[in-house]
Amino acid sequence: MIKMGTKVNLISGRTIVQGQNLDNKLSEAYFNEVATCELNESDMEKLGVAADGHVKVKTNYGEVVVKAKEKAGTPEGVIFIPMGPWANALVSGDTHGAGMPSFKGIDAEIEPTEEEVLQVKALMKTYME
Amino acid sequence: MAEGELLIRNGVVYDPINGVKGEKKDICIRDGKVVEEVKNPKVIDAEGRVVMPGGVDIHSHIAGAKVNAGRLFRPEDGRKGVKARTKVCRSESGYSVPNTFATGYRYARMGYTFVMEAAMPPLAARHTHEEMVDIPILDNAALPLIDNNWMTMEYVKSGDMDLLAAYIAWMMKATKGYGVKVVNPGGTEAWAWAKNCDLNDEVPYFDVTPAEIVKNLAVANEKFEMPHSIHVHGNMLGHPGNYEVTTSTYDLVKGIKPYRDRPAMHATHTQFHAYGGTRWGDFESKAGAIADYINKNEHVSIDLGSIILGDTTTMTADGPMEYSLYQITGRKWTNHDVELETGSGITPFLYSGKSPVNTIQWAIGQELALLVKDPWKLALTTDHPNAGPFIGYPIIISMLMSKRRRDESAEDMHKVIFDRAEYSSIDREYDLNEIAIITRGMAAKTLGLHEHGKGHLGVGADGDVAVYDMSPEETDAGKIQKAFLNTKYTIKGGEVVVKDGEVVATPAGKTYFVTPECDDKLTDEMLVKLKDKFEHYYSVNFNNYPVQDAYVPNPYEIKAPWRS
Amino acid sequence: MVEITDVVCSLCGCVCDDIVVEVEDNKVTKVKKGACAVGKSKLMGHGRIEEPAIRENGNLKDCSYDEAIKKAAEILAASRRPLLYGWSSTVCEADKVGVELAEEIGAVIDNTASVCHGPSVLAIQDVGLPSCTLGEVKNRADLIIYWGANPAAAHANHMKRYSYISKGYWTEEGKKNKKLVVVDVRRTPTAKMADVFLQIEQGKDYLVFSALRALLYGYDDVVPEEVGGISKKDLLETVKMMKEAKFGIIFFGMGVTHTRGRHNNIVNAIETTRAAHTHTKFSIMPMRGHYNVAGINQVCTWETGFPFAVDLSRGYAWYNPGEISATDLLIRRECDAALIIASDPGAHFPGESIRHLSKIPVIQIDPFPNPTTEFADVVIPAAISGVEAEGNVYRMDNIPIRLRKLVDTEYLADEEIMKSILEEVRAIKEKEGE
């Protein structure tokens, strides 16, 4: 059950279009595919966000604005952001002694927003400040 | 190969291939080869020290898919034997599964200059070659596995020996291989269904028996002037009571006429195949029975697979054997079946002198060496790393040379050694000439490498020389072991690569491979069948399968004409 | 126009080698056969890093290869704690030079396994890996399990060439006589094809493996009615399929390695495979991502003894993932310079670690611009391996295959760039009298 500010479970992973643009990450196609957040229909409704509406996702490690995308087959309470710079803005670097960051199963909060989605260059700039 | 001249003066030379048994003699080398005399050489003073040709190892797992899988899954082994890089050497790691650099340096420090990688899965041959390029100093070669291959079994079934020979020829060329390797024939294919085969069982779906595979491969192999015979790891390795399977396997090639004066079969790591008893509880040595067979027959040569006590990493294309071993120990286990060709398994193992079974295994390896009368029929190996790492060779040498050391060691072993092995009743002691035979002469001859400059110091031979820091009269086993572990000098192709036990130069080794010459028509007929296998069953395309020349930057080709 | 056959794809761990392309005017103009959508996209090409460049006052300024290589060598030679990272989307020949450079400067060398199947390596080091080549699966497997893996998106030819849809010797009817089980959090495109889809609760993989193990060993009574969102009934059905299969295989992906439990999940997956092997033939294989991530693990292992996260600052190899993996090193702000080759931590590392990486001198070697380029201080364009350069790579089942060169290029290959940097570093060290 998703409400504003309620915790969801964030996972990231590959998609076909993400893979097609693996060597083309500064492209529009990559941005359109990867700066997105997949939710199931009922979560979209509960959140009150339309397709392509923007959502802000926050974790203990960062926050990022991405486009919402309805995706059947995503369980309630789980959000999926394709692997890439936007998902990784939210990911923990703690490797639990295994060398592997936490790319999946991250406690996150989600809310609709009017804010713009940052392009990749602008997103990278935030790290250099 | 180093340019210029080198003189190794006044050493006591053991060069069994040329019948030199401990003569005070100079060795002259020019431009990497042994010559009659030199004019203005660099001089190495070997005064009173033991001098031998560079060592030749007939069977060792040093490079390729399963060796690296062994390294990868045993970081605890990698942490042993670490040594920082020097100005000359790359960093070293590992004990039973040393990294490629350590492999080259350690063999060179023992005076070895040629090592045969004993099992190359054809589909992963590129991997074997990539690693061999990264093994410094040593000349090398590899034996592709040709026995569990569907092509082989189908030709064995149809009885087309010429086509089987054509397949062997194609595979040697495609893998840049040296000779036909057999590992648990039929049993490894059966393992793809979690089954195994005894010598006369039918291989599931293929309607042939392991015995037929071995025999036919030997016949097909001798259709060419192959430098080496088929190289066989038989069925039922490691099983109590397997010695009869072993001698029955030897019997298979009786009467097959080899192309030259070598046996028709080399049976490897014989220790693992010389077991009596019916189970582990009544396990006993049958080294005597095996030695008796070898003494009475000329068609089989063997290597020892002698045990080095301690922890090691076992690895073989004999998948079902490794699974059995893992079930005994419960330790980690890796398996890798290879489509249409072979398989492999890896598991760590501890050989303990407190264990009755390990004690008998330990005894068998040495008993074989002591009971086989003619040292030209056997080579010293530990089937590295299966019975223990190759750096244990000097231990075995000291044992074979000293009855006293054997007696002392037996006292530390499980008492079963006194009643289920002949060990303590054997008085024979090896002399240095016999040691030179089992560590270089026999291997070079059996592999046919003596005709290509390996394993001896006759004029024209490679300038590969080991100078051991011991006098020929030395009887102290500890000092013998020490001398054979680190040479005073190792010379490779006329260049000093080891001095006072330290590696001082790391020239690249050569890769030896055999090109059997097969009739085009026969090859074309064979290729119809082979291409069909690629079309339907392999996961790699035919044109991407053969090892490209780029993988063998220092090639040494040996042509093997068809015997008309 | 020239047609080139037997082209080898340099995209994912499938390393398909049956691709046919057309080349015209030194450019791949058409992918005729063999490649999936993702591989095709790779072969056809994208926008490049056009010139070597060095960052000055915040902006990248074009320069010559020599200048960029010299600058890179200066950065590395001056570094006290350098990190050499990436290595998965290039050939083994380049990786070998990387290990040599790491030894030369006492660097930490790590590869992308540390953020994909690093946990699988840790698990293999714990319990081993009963596995096989992909052709074994093609010819024999009648039960295929994808767990936390979505090949329909990430390895699009995997099912067709090697597993569920492929036809082999004992599987000549293809999927007709095979069963497909998919375990995933989402109903992925792969899940939609499954005979049995087990929709697992996120993060519950360890529990479900444990339940399957218990059932495979016959301890039905200890398994509760529901485990990780999957009913006992479904678990029992899955176990029945596993026992009755003639040849089963589990392919697992980052759904298992990235999630809570990490390597413990994989240990349990391998133990489950062993349990199944007491009934029938069963194997397991990680779905390796990049086309040569398996290869850098191989090279690093035979050269140093260890597959990833290797610290050579002591002169010998020190291996301790979790301490000296790239992410850990960056989070601790320990490294003071980095060489990034054939990978993109800017896109694929956690923000927390990018924060440090973006502030230290970074050398990037890559054919393509990407988020890492945004903060790289020296950018060196490379030839595209598998299109413009040849070399050896290892497929996900560790089968070595040689990439082909399809067209000519003026860009240097990774191996040449690495060799030049190594030479330059040695020259600097020699000058400084080491």
> Which pair of tokens denotes residue C131?
């596995």
B552: closest CA of chain C, how far (Å): 13
Count CB atoms within 10 A of the CB of residue C176: 8
Residue of C nearest to A94 (CA): C328
Asked if the C-beta of B531 comes within 8 angstroms of chain C's C-beta atoms, the answer is no
Instruction: Reply yes or no on whether the pLDDT at A70 is more than 90.
Output: yes
CA distance C388 to C405: 5
Q: How many interface pairs between B and C have CB atoms less than 8 angstroms apart?
A: 187
DSSP B373-417: S-GGGEE---TTTTSS-GGGHHHHHHHHH-HHHHHHHHHHS-GGG
Measured CA distances, A120 to A24, A33, A117, A123, C85 (Å): 12, 12, 9, 5, 22
* Torsion sign over Cα A14, A18, A21, A26: negative
Average pLDDT over chain A, rounded to an integer: 93
Tally Cβ neighbours within 10 Å of residue B161.
16
| B46 occurs within a structural domain | no
pLDDT of B428 above 70: yes
Evaluate if pTM is beyond 0.95: yes
Alpha-carbon distance C393 to C385, whole Å?
Answer: 10
Q: Beta-carbon neighbour count of residue B18 at 10 Å?
A: 15
Q: Which of these, C255, C17, C14, lies nearest to C148 by C-alpha position?
A: C255
Whether B514 maps to a domain, the answer reads: no
* Residue B278 confidence (pLDDT): 97
Reported as a pLDDT band with limits 50, 70 and 90, residue A51 is confident
> What does the pLDDT look like over C28-75, one tens digit per residue?
999 999 999 999 999 999 899 999 999 999 999 999 999 999 999 999
Q: Taking a C-beta distance cutoff of 8 angstroms, is the pair B378, B291 a contact? A: no
Show Cβ contacts of residue C191 under 8 Å, excluding neighbours closer than 6 positions: A73, C150, C182, C184, C197, C199
Is the pLDDT assigned to residue A3 strictly greater than 70?
Answer: no
* pLDDT at position C188 over 90: yes
Is pLDDT at A1 greater than 50 in this prediction?
no
Domain count, chain B: 1
Distance from CA of B194 to the nearest CA of C (A): 5
CATH number of the domain at B455, please. 3.20.20
Other Cβ atoms closer than 10 A to B561 = 12
φ/ψ (deg, to 5) at C420: -65, -40
Order of strands, edge to edge, in the sheet holding C59-62? C59-62, C53-56, C378-381, C362-366, C337-341, C82-86, C108-111, C310-311, C318-319
Residue ranges with strand state E in chain A: 7-13, 36-39, 54-59, 62-70, 78-82, 104-112
Q: Which residue has the tokens 């006290």?
A: C80
Question: How does pLDDT run across B384-424, given as a tens digit for each residue?
Answer: 999 999 999 999 999 999 999 999 999 999 999 999 999 99
Cα-based angle B409, B410, B415 (whole degrees, multiple of 5): 145
- Closest-CA residue in chain C for B101? C303
Q: How many residues does chain B have?
A: 564
Structure tokens at B200: 């006369």
Residue B42 in tokens = 């660099």
CA distance C418 to chain B (A): 17
Q: Is B553 part of a structural domain of the chain?
A: no
Q: Do C263 and A98 count as a contact with CB atoms less than 8 A apart?
A: yes
C226 min Cα distance to partner chain B (Å): 31
pLDDT at residue C5 greater than cutoff 70: yes
Residue C310 corresponds to which amino acid?
A: V
Report CB contact under 8 Å: A25, C344.
Answer: yes
**What mean pLDDT, rounded, does chain B reach?**
97
- Report, as an integer, the average pLDDT of C306-331: 97
Q: Give the integer Cα–Cα distance in Å for B323 and B307.
A: 20
CA C23, C29, C31, C37 torsion-angle sign: positive
**Which strands, in side-by-side order, build the sheet including B300-303?**
B181-183, B230-233, B265-267, B300-303, B378-379
Out of B72, B333, B339, name the one closest to residue C136 (CB).
Answer: B339
Residue A74 DSSP class: P
Pairing of strands B139-144, B181-183: unpaired
Residue C156, pLDDT > 80, answer yes
ipTM of the complex: 0.98
| Same fold: C47-115+291-431 with C118-286 | no
Under CATH, which architecture does the C47-115+291-431 domain have? 3-Layer(aba) Sandwich (3.40)
Once rounded to an integer, what is the mean pLDDT over residues A42-68? 94
C133-142 pLDDT per residue, tens: 999 999 999 9
- Cα C334 to Cα C360: distance, rounded to the nearest angstrom: 10
Asked if the model's pLDDT at residue B330 lies above 90, the reply is yes
Q: Which residues contact B219 (CB under 8 A, 6 or more apart)?
A: B161, B256
Q: For chain C, say whether A129 makes contact (Cβ under 8 Å).
A: no
Q: Between vectors from CA C97 to CA C95 and to CA C102, what angle results, nearest 5°?
A: 95
Strand B555-560 to B511-516 pairing: parallel
| C-alpha distances in Å from residue B85, one per residue of A112, B362, B442, C106 | 57, 35, 35, 10
- Residue B84 is given by DSSP the state -
C-alpha to C-alpha distances, B517 to B226, B256, B542, B560, nearest whole angstrom:
10, 20, 20, 6
Query: Is B340 a residue whose pLDDT tops 90?
Result: yes
Whether residue A95 lies within 8 A of chain C, CB to CB, comes out as yes
Q: Which of residues 117-176 of B touch C (CB under 8 A)?
A: 123-124, 126-127, 130-131, 134
Write out chain C residues lying below 8 Å of A102, CB-based.
258, 260, 350
Write down the domain spans for chain C: 2-42, 47-115+291-431, 118-286
Q: Measured between alpha carbons, how far is A73 from B358 in angstroms, rounded to an integer?
A: 57
Q: How far apart are CA B140 and CA C184, in angstroms?
A: 48
Is the CB of residue B338 less than 8 Å away from at least one CB of chain C?
A: yes
Work out the average pLDDT over B193-213: 98
Residue of C nearest to B134 (CA): C303
By C-alpha distance, which of B173, B231, B214 is closest to B523?
A: B173
Q: What is the pLDDT of residues C191-242, one digit of tens each?
A: 999 999 999 999 999 999 999 999 999 999 999 999 999 999 999 999 999 9
Q: What is the CA radius of gyration of chain B?
A: 22
- What is residue B72's predicted lDDT score, i.e. its pLDDT? 98
**Does the pLDDT of residue A2 top 80, yes or no?**
no
For the segment C167-175, the average pLDDT, to the nearest whole number, is 97
CA-CA distance, B235 to B474, in Å (whole number)? 41
Average pLDDT for chain C: 97
The domain containing residue B379 runs over which residues? 53-503
C-alpha R_g of chain A:
14
Q: Region of C45 please: left (phi>0), alpha (psi -120 to 50) or beta.
A: left
Those residues whose C-beta lies under 8 Å from the C-beta of residue B101, and which sit 6 or more positions away, are B89, B90, B91, B92, B134, B135, B136, C303
- Kindly report, residue by residue over A5-21, the tens digit of the pLDDT: 778 999 999 999 999 99
Q: Which two tokens stand for residue B287?
A: 């080294």
Two structure tokens written together for C78: 């001056």
pLDDT over 70 for what percent of chain C? 100
CA–CA distance, C346 with A73 (Å, rounded to integer): 30
Find the mean pLDDT for residues B33-43: 97
C160 pLDDT more than 90: yes
pLDDT reading at B2 higher than 80: no
Residue C409 is predicted with a pLDDT of 97
C 403-432 residues with CB below 8 A of A?
none
pLDDT at position B314 over 80: yes
Give the pLDDT mean for A22-33. Answer: 95
Are the C-beta atoms of residues C347 and C370 closer than 8 Å to each other? Answer: yes
Is residue B352 in a domain?
yes
- B23 within some domain: no
DSSP string, C251-275: EE-HHHHSSTTTHHHHHHHHHHHHH
CA gap B179, B227 in Å, rounded = 8
Instruction: Tell me if B25 sits within 8 A of B80, measured CB to CB.
Output: no
| Domains by residue range for chain A, with CATH | 7-128 (2.40.40.20)
Greater confidence, B2 or A52? A52
- Of the candidates B75, B83, B101, which has its C-beta nearest C319's C-beta? B75
What pLDDT was estimated at residue B1?
Answer: 65
How many angstroms separate the CA atoms of B204 and B318, rounded?
16
Residue A4's pLDDT band (boundaries 50, 70, 90)? low
Chain C: residue nearest A60 by CA?
A: C352
Closest CA relative to residue B449, chosen from B464, B431, B466: B464
Give C118-286's CATH code, choosing from 3.40.50.1000, 3.40.1350.10, 3.40.228.10, 1.20.1250.20: 3.40.228.10
Q: Is A96 on the interface with C (CB under 8 A)?
A: yes
Paired strand residues for C161: none
At C66 the three-state DSSP class reads helix
**Eight-state DSSP code of residue B145:** B
Of B538, B86, B73, B499, nearest to B341 by C-alpha is B538
Tell me whether A92 touches chain C (CB under 8 Å): yes
Of C199, C262, C205, C208, whose CA–CA distance to C235 is shortest?
C208
Kindly state whether C308 is in contact with chain B, defined as any CB-CB distance less than 8 angstroms: no
Distance from the Cα of A114 to chain C's closest Cα (Å) equals 23
Partners of residue A105 in chain C, C-beta under 8 Å:
202-203, 258-260
DSSP letter at B548 equals P
Provide the 8-state DSSP code for B504.
-
C293-304 vs B125-133: helix axis angle to the nearest 10?
40
Burial of B488 (0-12, 13-18, 19+ CB in 10 A): buried
Question: What is the identity of the amino acid at B231?
Answer: H
**Phi/psi at B28 (5° precision):** -110, 135
| Confidence at residue C434, expressed as pLDDT on a 0 to 100 scale | 57
pLDDT band at B444 (very low <50, low <70, confident <90, very high): very high
Q: How far apart are CA C69 and CA C75, in angstroms?
A: 10
Helix/strand/coil for C28: strand
* pLDDT interval class at A129 (50, 70, 90): confident
Domain presence at residue B538: no
